[in-house]
Amino acid sequence: MVSRGLIKIKAEIYLLGIVVIWGSTFAVVKEVLEQITPFTFLAYRFLVAVLVLGLIFGRKIKSLNQITLKKGFLIGIFLFLSYAFQTVGLKYTTATKAGFITGLSVVLVPPLAHFFTQEKISRNSTLGVVLAVIGLGFLNYNYDYFNFNRGDFLVLLGALSFALHLITVDRYTKKLDYVLLVIVQLATVWILSWLLALFWEKPGLSLEGYSIQVWWSIIWTGVLATALAFYLQNRFQRYSTATRTAIIFSGEPLFGAIFAHLLLGEEVGLLAGVGGLMIILGMIISQKENR
């Protein structure tokens, strides 16, 4: 019989693997957006994810009820806003900055949870927010001017949406079937992305003319970074503590910067590096319990 300790270690290894995959997507998506429009990319990415989970868990869909459908749709709206803002924002900012700014979602969870559910804000949460905000300033300060462009702003809105997504996931996965919730969430993002692509990017929806790189990116993000990652997160996060999970997830911006350097040749200056580390530190501290 496998001990609880080994199950916990296994779960955290899977969570770390998710973080590495998510970190890689900033550079992958940034590069491919030169060839495909944002909502068209999201439509194909989430269609692939829905098809994969549908093939694996098709029988469970028969047990989908109205409550799960409604709650999954609500969570899916926040997830759609997260990816919509982040993907469009990536067209105008670097993959490195997008990774660090997206990481702010972890820091934003406590104050937003307080606003919506009246949860008490701890001293560590307050300190984490302060450090993250200062880090964001360093990340965007280029020695003689402050460079916070529209891409950074859109990615920040995406981080805010991710935080709301985390709050709603935490609230409803404890009561409802997490597999069905994941499928409904991803289907919601696919439908909304397809509608916006049809409205704004209709010519791009054609299957013709895209390079192998575009299709590889859609498969990579759709299968691994979406279908597999969200399934594994919902399955294994419950075996780890909130603090340890937050520490693991705080590595996403770091892996994002590593892949941005390896794949795109992006460099991180001294001030930006300090800012990024302050954001990660704020993420970790904000999730620690006061003693």
- List pLDDT tens digits, range 1-29: 456 668 777 887 888 889 899 989 999 99
User: Whole domain around residue 247: which residue ranges?
Assistant: 4-286
CA of 239: how far to CAs of 10, 12, 15, 243, in Å?
9, 8, 10, 12
Report if residue 52 sits inside a domain: yes
Residue 19 pLDDT = 87
Rounded to two decimals, what is the model's pTM?
Answer: 0.85
Kindly report, residue by residue over 82-101, the tens digit of the pLDDT: 999 999 999 999 888 888 88
Residue 284 pLDDT more than 90? no
Q: How big, in percent rounded to 5, are the helix, strand and coil portions of the chain? A: 80, 0, 20
Higher pLDDT, 128 or 159: 159
Residue 38 pLDDT more than 50? yes
Residue with tokens 């020695």: 143
Report if residue 14 sits inside a domain: yes
Report if residue 12 sits inside a domain: yes
Report if residue 245 sits inside a domain: yes
Tally of structural domains, the chain: 1
Share of residues in the chain with pLDDT > 90 (%): 32
Kindly report, residue by residue over 97-149, the tens digit of the pLDDT: 888 888 777 777 777 777 766 666 677 767 777 777 777 777 666 655 567 78
Report if residue 291 sits inside a domain: no
CA dihedral sign, ordered 195, 98, 249, 32: positive
Kindly report, residue by residue over 220-252, the tens digit of the pLDDT: 999 999 999 988 887 777 676 555 666 677 778
d(CA 106, CA 111): 10
